[in-house]
Structure 1
């Protein structure tokens, strides 16, 4: 009679091998792992091989797929290498000597070379980084070889370069509206959002920001991003004993050297200079306020 348990175990092993392969792009080491698994199955060690292959499959899936077009996934490749290496070590323990270290090293090297070749062939979109709190004409330009592609990558770069200890990233857009000649607008960037080829501005929260908005401050025919803290609705701003009555008095308190002529919403063009300044007027981390100064 056929051994249905053995057949089921073999099917499970093959399914897990397919699942592992689906998460990889460079598979020389995997093919060696697969060949070793199939060889051990032929030696009637199926039930001992199955938990090893299952664990490798689980660990690979936890790491996630490697996508060559997404640099943020590239660190997964080394994790995959380590998982397969451990799997081969565990398989060798079932039948010592089945593992060929020289062949394994060559397979790992081939995968590394193939990965490097593809990585080098992919175009890199240049990123320009401006400090929102210290705007200058010359941006920071991370080296192209770093291949920064997501907001998370850029934040790590800022931390490593000690440009900001608690950075948040905004994208600067040009020609979005007609309220100013430049028509600039800024949008907050989520951690996993791709930022390649975009003009970015960062704010260091360590400079005293937590709940803030970005204001478009227009002066001398220039649009400048100006982050300011915004009180939660129902809370007073600036001074609890003598809180600001509206946006006009708030600006007078925080920018005594600047005269604000007008304040309007970018989305609707509504005049809000005499409105109460809190999160009932603007959402935190939004850019919907344009002010004209002289």
Structure 2
């Protein structure tokens, strides 16, 4: 008897590709849920949420009751005492060079290597989703963490800014004054740009994660590469290659606080991140699809 004859009347056969797609979606949901339930992930988000609190308290103590700011500091810090919304911009500027990329590097570096080290990777590979969908799920989960981490910093900064400082109209870098509502929209746009600025780090960490079976080694290597590249971006003698380093345009989000918005540096940053994502994402796919999983 054929398979079609054995099927109940009125039943429709489900194509294998459709079943694989459904499994791929289930796999993605499972990856995201598992990642955000880990204590390590929650600890990273907790540290990121604490940074705006520390910055806000430090600014409040330093300025005192008169609101006078007597020294330098991160970008936008001189405006924080006049408008708590600027604590969002200051916190993103303070966390983007190190804290946010380090957290992304930890999650991305452990994505594949951690599974291989614990022996669960081979069980995931027997599922009908296949290696390509599994790798995509890992990268999509890392990107979800990118947006979640950036949102945590922004929301924490907004809450602390509202508690410690006044809120109101926002004076942009160009001198134009906009309403608080439009200021919130610009803060949201900046948070999105900051999250997208980390797609290159996420792809790099994913590629490193496919090279080893040790999650700790992959995380350490990713963070080490991140620090090294940022150091290289500081030497004037290397100005010829610096525009091609993924952190070079990270702070270009400040141009979203101009009127009119200057898009040149912002678009260069997003284009550079897309290039890194394409190169290291392809390298991760080539490595992972040919990798011999023995553990």
TM range (shorter): under 0.3
TM-score for the superposition, normalised by structure 1: 0.23
Name the one with the larger strand percent. 1
Which structure is larger by alpha-carbon Rg, 1 or 2?
1
Name the one with the larger helix percent. 2
TM-score for the superposition, normalised by structure 2: 0.23
Flag the structure with more relative contact order, 1 or 2, with Cα contacts below 8 A and sequence separation at least 6. 2
